[in-house]
Amino acid sequence: MTRVVRTRSELRQVLADAPRPVGLVPTMGWLHEGHRALMSRARAQDAFTVVTIFVNPRQFNEAADYTRYPRNEARDLAIAEAEGVDLVFAPAVEEIYPPGFDTTVSVGAVARPLEGAARPGHFDGVATVVAILFGLVRAEHAYFGQKDAQQVMVIRQMARDLAIGTEVIACPTVREPDGLAFSSRNAHLTAEQRAASPVLRRALLAARDAFAGGERSGDALRAVMRATLAEEPAADVAYVSVADGDTLAELDRVDGPALASLAVRFGATRLIDNEPLG
Ligand code: AMP
Q: Give tens-digit pLDDT for 143-157.
A: 999 999 999 999 999
Among 147, 168, 204, 270, residue to substitute to test ligand 1 (most atoms within 8 Å of Cβ): 147
Among 79, 144, 185, 201, residue to substitute to test ligand 1 (most atoms within 8 Å of Cβ): 144
Peptide bond into 21 cis (omega under 30): yes
**Residue with the nearest Cα to atom 10 of ligand 1?**
144
The atom number, within ligand 1, closest to the CA of 30 reads 2
Task: Say if residue 30's pLDDT is above 90.
Answer: yes
Centre of ligand 1 from the C-alpha of residue 56, in Å: 14
pLDDT in tens, 102-152: 999 999 999 999 999 999 999 999 999 999 999 999 999 999 999 999 999
Residue 81, C-beta contacts closer than 8 angstroms, at least 6 positions apart? 1, 2
Centre of ligand 1 from the C-alpha of residue 148, in Å: 7
Ramachandran class of 145: left when φ > 0, alpha when ψ lies in -120 to 50, beta otherwise: beta
Q: What is the pTM of this model?
A: 0.98
Look at residue 148 in the predicted model and tell me its pLDDT. Answer: 98
Check if 32 is active-site. no
Out of 35, 122, 141, 188, pick the active-site residue. Answer: 35
Q: What angle do CA 176, 180, 185 make, to 5 degrees?
A: 100
Over residues 167-195, mean pLDDT: 98
* Residues of the chain above pLDDT 70, percent: 100
> What's the pLDDT band for 278 if we cut at 50, 70, 90?
confident
Centre of ligand 1 from the C-alpha of residue 213, in Å: 31
Q: Across the strands, what pairs with 26?
A: 52
Ramachandran class of 30: left when φ > 0, alpha when ψ lies in -120 to 50, beta otherwise: left
Centre of ligand 1 from the C-alpha of residue 217, in Å: 30
Task: Say if residue 10's pLDDT is above 90.
Answer: yes
